[in-house]
């Protein structure tokens, strides 16, 4: 979404579940990311996990698709991984 005339994209916060199934991930986990869209979420999360998880890329994309998404009320401009808890 374009805001005003400054051409800045509004940031959203995405909250989702860890995508690696048992037994590779014993207890699952959660992630929280601030980004402009789901594609940016994928890029940020790929930078957060080890190469081992590349085999679960389709699961990750599905997790992002199912993630809760909320508009941020503040003027945050930086996209980033807020927190992750992966087991």
* 4-41 pLDDT, tens digit each: 333 457 899 999 988 776 666 666 778 899 999 999 99
Range of 80's domain? Answer: 2-86
* 48-68 pLDDT, tens digit each: 876 767 777 888 899 999 999
Residue with tokens 């941020």: 72
Who's near 66: CB < 8 A, 6+ residues apart? Answer: 16, 17
Q: What pLDDT score does 6 carry? A: 38
Question: What Å distances lie between residue 19 and 65, 74, 78, CA to CA?
Answer: 11, 29, 24
What tokens does 22 get? 């048992």
Q: What pLDDT score does 59 carry? A: 85
Say how many domains are in the chain: 1
């Amino acid at each position: 979404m374009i805001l005003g005339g400054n051409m800045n994209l509004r940031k959203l916060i995405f909250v989702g579940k860890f995508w690696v199934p048992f037994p590779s991930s014993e207890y699952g986990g959660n992630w929280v990311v601030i980004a402009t869209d789901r594609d940016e979420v994928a890029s940020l999360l790929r930078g957060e996990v080890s190469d081992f998880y590349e085999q679960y890329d389709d699961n990750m994309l599905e997790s992002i698709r199912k993630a809760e998404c909320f508009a941020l009320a503040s003027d945050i401009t930086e996209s980033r991984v807020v927190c992750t808890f992966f087991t």
